[in-house]
Structures are given as C-alpha cells and as structure tokens.
C-alpha cells in the first residue's frame, strides 16, 4: 500500500494504516526530536506525543509532503516541551567545577568502559555537535536541524515552523555562525576525516 | 577564526550561497569576491565543513516503536474540545431566550409579564390626574378631590393631587352639579407579579361632563416612558450572555482544532 492510500485509510479511522506510517517515519521523527531536545527520554516523549497528535489531527492534513507535516507536528511538540521547561526550570544533572560552574561539554557522560580512542572516534563529533546545538536558542536550533540535519529545503522548513522564508534564511545563517563559533572549542578534537573537501556550489 | 574577519551580512550571503538561495546576479557577484578575498573564501570553506558535518551526523534509530494502541488513539479529549458543546448550547439557548423576550416586548407580551414598579407607574398617573382637576377648577366647576379618593395613593407615596385654594372653594360650590370622572388607582393581580394600573372610573360619570381632553387621556399608557424597564434589562443581559458564550465557544473550537 502506498503512502497516499495509507494516509487516506488512516483519515477514515484505520489505526493499522496509520501505524504503518508511524513505522515508516518514526526514525526521522525521533531524530528531529532528539536533535532539538538533546535528550533521549525527552525525544521519546516528544515523538510519541507527535504521533498521537498527528493521528488526531489527520483530518487537517491537506496533501503535500507527509514527512514535512509530521516534522512540523514534532517541532511543535518540542516547542511546547521547551516552553514548559522554561516555565518550570529544573536543575540539570550535570557536574560542577570547584567554582560552581558547569562543565562546557557532556563528555562526562561517555561510557568509561569504552576505550578512549574508540569513544572519541565514535562519539566525538556527534557529541560536540549536539552540545553546540543544545546551546542554541530554540528558534535557531529548529532552523538548522530542519535544513542541515533533516535535509529539508527552505520552503519546507518555513512551512514546518510557520515562518516566512526570509526568517528561515536569517535564522539559519545565524545558527550556522553560532555553531561554527561553538565548534571552535572542539576543533582540535575533531578528526580530519570529518572535514569536507571543497564542494562545487 | 576566519569568520571573525567577515561581516554578518557576508556570512548570511555565504549561507544562502551554499544552499543555492541567491539570485544568479548575486551569486556571480559573490563568486567574483570569493576569488579576490581569501578571508571570505576561508569562511565559505568553514561553512561548507559545518554543513557537511551536520549532514553526515548519524541518523539515530528510534529506541522503540511509536505505534499507537487503540487507547492512545482514542485518548483523552482535550479540555477545550470537551467544553465547546456546553458553551455552544449555552449560546444558542441564550440567543433564543433573547429573541423570545425581544419579540414579546415588541408585540406587547412584555406588559403582561413584566410590570413596572408602583412608583414608576404612579408618578405619571398623578400628573395625568392633576391636569383635569386644574381644568375643572378654571371652569370653575371642579370637584374636590380628597386623599381618600385616590385609593392606594398613600401606599405608593404619591403626592396628593394639588388643587388651588380658589379652585377648591369654587369646586365645592359646584360639587353637586358636576359629575365625577376621577381616575382610580387599583391593583390588578397578574400571575406572580402584582401589576399596578390605572383604570378610569367613568361608571358614574356621564360622558357629557368629561372634558374632551380628559376623555382622550383616559387610556393612559401603562408601560410607556420607562427609562429602562426590566424587560430591557433582561434583553441586555441575555444579549450579553449570548455574545459572551458564543465568543467562548468559537475560541474553544479554535483551540481544539489547533
């Protein structure tokens, strides 16, 4: 059964058809949630909430890219959770230095049983990027996650966060600049293999 | 860092450039600048590196399936959606009541059920009563009107009918030959609310003795000239209720569909 047939069946209340769509897109939805929330448990909650919300709002889907529609819902779910956290801040489970300041990166979370080289190779870049993403303001984070990580084009991203194209361009450029600045802290740790060669524009 | 040496505007152009979001003219101009400006070229390289790193991030697999169970699909209806029918019904009911009261008031049904207060009613009635007496005194065949003849006038704190002294004496002299046409205040019990009204007492008065103007005034309006009757207040309250509940219902509908 193709995507449009599944969507049509789900719109008529066929839960099994909707669950086929869930299985097809859950990785991308979870990725989006994780890159925005920066935590696995929060990402799971956001992804589950997004699918529940998507099923109930399926009658509002008017065609177009279904994954873009789903990503918009999970983005909104993440926004809601971030706003809720802002209203009710909690103390993060992070160590502090002797001066009472928090460590800049979550390297303390790495598995101590893993060899340093292997851990570095596997997690270093992703961890550094996620750490820098977490430091971005949510609006900038959404833009860079949707375009640079999810691979959406500008129009899809604008539709997902319901902002004009110019806002997306501006937010993306500023997000990239801040990411660039943040990653300088980790530059000496990044393996050269992750650097891109010149791309033809 | 290379990005320190370029302006934010240039960075924004570079960001759009690598995504192909610049116009052909802007792209050509920027390409020329890139050839002549090593700092700008280095910033572009940094930007490409960053974008490549982000695009090459490993795609995480969902730690579990997020398929929905029937319970999850059914779920709990949002509060806004639950409250919407209640407010919609309240809006419809209050609108219907408003229309009913409005029509009743227009077609006279309001007078049967909504009675003005006694004080509101007696004041214009007393004025009407004074007019014929004064005219009779000038005739000079006026009838002396005592407080006792006004019925419930004392109970409703109505001023006694004022009769000029000269007219009073003249009226006494002609009392026997002049018939009475004095309006009386009576209380009519209607449904639950007592309604005070004026019924002209013409049973013992021949028509010829009544001045034309008094005869014309004998059908004194019963509810007119009320600045804000209870019916009007009820209409305003119902209209406000209909509007407010309707607005809340629309808002709840909008919330539940978001």
Hey, is the C-beta of B24 within 8 angstroms of any chain A C-beta? no
For residue A199, is pLDDT > 80? no
H helix or E strand, kind and range, residue A18: helix A15-37
Structural domains of chain A sorted by starting position, each given as residue range(s) with its CATH number in brackets:
3-87 (1.10.1740.10), 114-191 (1.10.10.10)
B243 within domain boundaries? no
Residue ranges in chain A assigned as alpha helix (H): 3-11, 15-37, 40-56, 66-87, 116-135, 138-144, 154-161, 165-183
CA–CA gap between residue B211 and residue B126 (Å, rounded): 18
Chain A to chain B Cβ contacts (< 8 Å)? 123
Are B223 and B124 in the same domain? yes
Q: What percent of chain A has pLDDT over 70?
A: 74
pLDDT of residue B93: 93
pLDDT tens profile A97-120: 555 554 444 444 445 455 556 555
The residues pairing with B183 across neighbouring beta strands, listed in sequence order, are B200
Answer with the one of B55, B78, B98 that is the final residue of a domain: B55
Q: Does the beta-carbon distance from A201 to B12 stay under 8 Å?
A: no
Q: Does the beta-carbon distance from A180 to B58 stay under 8 Å?
A: no
Number of domains in chain B: 2
Cis peptide before A133 (omega within 30 of 0): no
In this structure, the number of other CB atoms found within 10 A of the CB of residue A77 comes to 25
Of the candidates B11, B27, B66, the beta carbon closest to that of A26 is on B66
pLDDT tens profile B29-43: 999 999 999 999 999
B94 within domain boundaries? no
pLDDT of residue A146: 93
Which residues in chain A touch residue B64, judged by CB atoms under 8 angstroms apart?
44
Categorize the per-residue pLDDT at A161 as very low, low, confident or very high, splitting at 50, 70 and 90. Answer: confident
Which residues in chain A touch residue B48, judged by CB atoms under 8 angstroms apart?
196, 198-199
Of the candidates A34, A129, A170, the beta carbon closest to that of B53 is on A129
Task: Name the token pair of B167.
Answer: 């007219």
Q: Does the beta-carbon distance from B51 to A148 stay under 8 Å?
A: yes
For residue A59, is pLDDT > 80? yes
Are B223 and B154 in the same domain? yes
For residue B124, is pLDDT > 60? no
Hey, is the C-beta of B60 within 8 angstroms of any chain A C-beta? yes
The minimum CA-CA distance between B61 and chain A, rounded to whole Å, is 5
Of the candidates A29, A52, A169, the beta carbon closest to that of B75 is on A52
Q: Does the beta-carbon distance from B19 to A181 stay under 8 Å?
A: no
**Which residue's entry shows tokens 């935590």?**
A39
Task: Name the token pair of B65.
Answer: 């399936």
Are B127 and B25 in the same domain? no
Q: Which DSSP category does B6 fall into?
A: S
Residues spanned by the domain of B43: 2-55
Class of residue A151 by CB neighbours under 10 A (exposed 0-12, middle 13-18, buried 19+): exposed
For residue B53, is pLDDT > 70? yes
Per mean pLDDT, which range of B3-12, B56-65, B76-85 is the poorest?
A: B76-85
B26 within domain boundaries? yes
Are B124 and B214 in the same domain? yes
Q: Does the beta-carbon distance from B18 to A195 stay under 8 Å?
A: no
Mean of per-residue pLDDT scores for chain B = 68
Which residues in chain A touch residue B47, judged by CB atoms under 8 angstroms apart?
176, 180
How many residues are present in chain A?
A: 201
The minimum CA-CA distance between A188 and chain B, rounded to whole Å, is 13
Q: Does the beta-carbon distance from A172 to B15 stay under 8 Å?
A: yes
pLDDT of residue B197: 46
Q: Is the distance from CB of B116 to CB of B223 less than 8 angstroms?
A: yes
The minimum CA-CA distance between A101 and chain B, rounded to whole Å, is 26
Q: Does the beta-carbon distance from B62 to A27 stay under 8 Å?
A: yes
For residue B198, is pLDDT > 50? no
Query: Testing the interface with A: which of B62, B65, B72 to mutate, by most A Cβ within 10 A?
Result: B62
B136 within domain boundaries? yes
Q: Which residue of B has its CA nearest to A168?
A: B16
Of the candidates A151, A177, A199, the beta carbon closest to that of B11 is on A177
Query: Testing the interface with A: which of B67, B74, B82, B254 to mutate, by most A Cβ within 10 A?
Result: B67
B123 within domain boundaries? yes
Are B132 and B200 in the same domain? yes
B138 within domain boundaries? yes
The minimum CA-CA distance between B195 and chain A, rounded to whole Å, is 58
pLDDT of residue B213: 46
B108 within domain boundaries? no
pLDDT of residue B131: 53
Task: Name the token pair of A121.
Answer: 């190779």
Of the candidates B15, B45, B60, the beta carbon closest to that of A173 is on B15
The minimum CA-CA distance between A139 and chain B, rounded to whole Å, is 17
The minimum CA-CA distance between B236 and chain A, rounded to whole Å, is 39
Q: What percent of chain B has pLDDT over 70?
A: 48
How would DSSP label each residue in B132-197?
HHHHHHHTT-PPP--GGGGTTTTTTTPPPPP--HHHHHHHHHTGGGS----EEEEEEEETTEEEEE
Task: Name the token pair of B177.
Answer: 């030959």
């Amino acid at each position: 059964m193709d995507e449009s047939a599944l969507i049509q069946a789900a719109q008529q209340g066929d839960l099994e058809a909707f669950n086929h769509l869930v299985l097809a897109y859950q990785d991308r939805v979870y990725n989006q949630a994780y890159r925005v929330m920066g935590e696995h448990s929060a990402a799971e909650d956001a992804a589950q909430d997004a699918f529940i919300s998507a099923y109930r709002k399926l009658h509002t889907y008017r065609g177009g890219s279904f994954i873009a529609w789903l990503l918009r819902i999970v983005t909104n779910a993440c926004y809601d959770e971030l706003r809720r956290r802002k209203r009710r801040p909690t103390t993060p489970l992070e160590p502090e230095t002797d001066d009472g300041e928090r460590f800049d990166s979550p390297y303390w979370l790495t598995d101590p049983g893993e060899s340093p080289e292997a851990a570095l190779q596997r997690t270093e870049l992703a961890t550094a990027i996620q750490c820098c993403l977490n430091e971005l303001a949510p609006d900038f984070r959404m833009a860079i996650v949707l375009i640079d990580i999810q691979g959406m084009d500008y129009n899809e991203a604008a539709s997902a966060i319901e902002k004009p194209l110019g806002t997306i361009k501006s937010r993306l450029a500023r997000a990239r600049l801040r990411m660039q600045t943040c990653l300088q802290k980790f530059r000496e740790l990044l393996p050269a293999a992750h650097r891109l060669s010149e791309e033809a524009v | 860092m290379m990005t320190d040496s370029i302006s934010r505007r240039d960075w924004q152009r570079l960001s759009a450039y690598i995504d192909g979001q610049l116009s052909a003219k802007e792209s050509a101009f920027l390409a020329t600048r890139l050839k002549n400006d090593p700092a700008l070229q280095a910033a572009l390289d940094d930007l490409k590196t960053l974008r490549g790193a982000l695009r090459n991030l490993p795609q995480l697999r969902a730690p579990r399936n997020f398929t929905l169970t029937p319970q999850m699909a059914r779920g709990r209806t949002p509060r806004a959606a639950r409250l919407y029918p209640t407010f919609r019904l309240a809006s419809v009911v209050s609108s219907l009541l408003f229309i009913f009261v409005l029509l009743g008031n227009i077609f006279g049904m309001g007078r049967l059920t909504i009675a003005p207060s006694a004080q509101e009613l007696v004041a214009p009635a007393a004025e009407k009563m004074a007019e014929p007496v004064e005219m009779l005194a000038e005739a000079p065949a006026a009838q002396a009107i005592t407080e006792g003849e006004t019925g419930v006038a004392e109970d409703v704190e109505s001023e006694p009918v004022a009769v000029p002294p000269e007219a009073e004496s003249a009226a006494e002299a002609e009392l026997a030959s002049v018939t009475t046409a004095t309006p009386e205040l009576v209380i009519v019990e209607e449904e639950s609310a007592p309604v005070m009204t004026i019924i002209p007492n013409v049973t013992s008065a021949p028509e010829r003795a009544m001045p034309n103007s008094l005869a014309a005034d004998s059908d004194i309006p019963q509810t007119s000239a009320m600045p804000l009757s209870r019916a009007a207040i009820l209409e305003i309250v119902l209209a406000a209720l209909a509007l407010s509940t309707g607005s809340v219902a629309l808002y709840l509908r909008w919330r539940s569909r978001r």
